[in-house]
Every structure is written in structure tokens, then in C-alpha cells.
């Protein structure tokens, strides 16, 4: 079975800056306008983690350490 990368957000750390959204080459990250986190921001989320190629760009650019990648 192929190893997949799971993208996980600590939503309460997110400030909704959209940096991760802008760098994702697969365009699978988005700002969830339907949610508000404990800081009062719309947090980022992932549409389909199965499409993630594990490039790590999102975790590297996030200023708040809100994204974690792990292999499954
Ligand atoms: S690891 Fe790369 S492909 Fe996966 S969500 Fe982050 S930026 Fe997108
Ligand atoms: S880069 Fe980090 S703080 Fe900015 S929207 Fe993405 S997860 Fe949130």
C-alpha cells in the first residue's frame, strides 16, 4: 500500500494568514469561512488530504506552527 501524507491543522493556532494556501502546489488548502477558532480567525483546512504530495511547503511557511504532516 502506498504511503500517504496526512495534513493536520491545530486550528486554534491558526491566524488565517493564507500563506499555506498560497504555497500549496496541489491547491488543497483553504480558509474555512464557516469556522471561527478560539482566537477569532477563520482557520485553514485541507480539502482532500489524499492529494497531498508531502512537499512540506505548508509546514515550513506557517508562522504559527499550526500544520503537522505525518505519514500513514
Ligand atoms: S505538504 Fe505540500 S502538497 Fe501537502 S498540503 Fe502541504 S503544501 Fe500542500
Ligand atoms: S500558514 Fe499557518 S497560520 Fe497561516 S493560514 Fe496557514 S495554518 Fe493558518
pLDDT digits (tens, 9 = 90+) for 14-40: 999 999 999 999 999 999 999 999 999
- Number of CB atoms found within 10 A of residue 15's CB: 17
**pTM higher than the cut 0.85:** yes
Ligand nearest to the CA of 30: 2
Give the pocket of ligand 2 (CB within 6 Å).
Answer: 9, 14-20, 44, 61-62, 64, 66-67
pLDDT grade, residue 47 (50/70/90)? very high
pLDDT above 70 (res 3): yes
Q: Which of 9, 18, 22, 29 to mutate to test the pocket of ligand 1 (most atoms within 8 A of CB)?
A: 29
Angle CA 14–70–43, to nearest 5: 15
* 48 CB-contact burial (10 Å; exposed 0-12 / middle 13-18 / buried 19+): exposed
CB of 54 closer than 6 angstroms to any ligand 1 atom:
yes
Q: Which residues pair with 71 in a beta bridge?
A: 5
Q: Which domains does the chain have, with CATH numbers?
A: 5-71 (3.30.70.20)
Cβ neighbours around 11 below 10 Å, total: 18
Q: What is the mean pLDDT of the chain?
A: 96
Amino acid at each position: 500500500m502506498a504511503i500517504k501524507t496526512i495534513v493536520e491543522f491545530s486550528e486554534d493556532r491558526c491566524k488565517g494568514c493564507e500563506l499555506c494556501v498560497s504555497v500549496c502546489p496541489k491547491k488543497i488548502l483553504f480558509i474555512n469561512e464557516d469556522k471561527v477558532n478560539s482566537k477569532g480567525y477563520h482557520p485553514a483546512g485541507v480539502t482532500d488530504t489524499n492529494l497531498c504530495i508531502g512537499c512540506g511547503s505548508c509546514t515550513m511557511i506557517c508562522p504559527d506552527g499550526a500544520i503537522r504532516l505525518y505519514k500513514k
